[in-house]
């Protein structure tokens, strides 16, 4: 598997908001058009939205079991025909 872009830590009870910024990667006048998330069923990724300028994606993550680490694959397609795929790791700790 690809090395994770970044790692976040959360508790099993939290539902937290996260942001991915694509602006430095996008070409001039290009926007993120669609985004998809692939995660283990024990970790919930929901409520995602692409910003009005198409440069950032906000999403929420909840669930997971104490002591486990979950990779989330994020695939973004752009108005310019590009596809960007990143892996984010979520470490779940009760305390």
Flag whether 71 is in a domain: yes
The domain that holds 20 is classified in CATH as: 2.60.40.10
Flag whether 1 is in a domain: no
Please state the domain count of the chain.
Answer: 1
- The domain containing residue 53 runs over which residues? 6-92
- Going by pLDDT thresholds of 50, 70 and 90, the confidence category of residue 5 is confident
Q: What would the pLDDT profile of 46-89 be if each residue is shown by its tens digit? A: 999 999 999 999 999 999 999 999 999 999 999 999 999 999 99
Residue 95 pLDDT: 76
Query: What proportion of the chain, given as a percentage, has pLDDT over 90?
Result: 92
Tell whether the model's pLDDT for residue 3 goes beyond 90.
Answer: no
Sheet with 43-50, strands from edge to edge, namely 15-21, 56-63, 43-50
Flag whether 11 is in a domain: yes
Q: What is the pTM (predicted TM-score) of this model?
A: 0.91
**6-10 and 83-92 strand pairing:** parallel
């Amino acid at each position: 598997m690809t090395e994770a872009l970044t790692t976040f830590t959360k508790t099993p009870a939290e539902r937290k908001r996260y942001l991915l910024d694509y602006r430095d990667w996008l070409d001039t006048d290009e926007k993120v058009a669609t985004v998809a998330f692939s995660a283990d069923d024990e970790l919930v990724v929901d409520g995602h939205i692409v910003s009005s300028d198409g440069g950032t994606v906000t999403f929420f993550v909840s669930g997971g079991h104490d002591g486990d680490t979950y990779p989330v694959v994020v695939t973004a397609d752009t108005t310019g025909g590009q596809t960007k795929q990143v892996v984010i790791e979520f470490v779940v700790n009760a305390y």
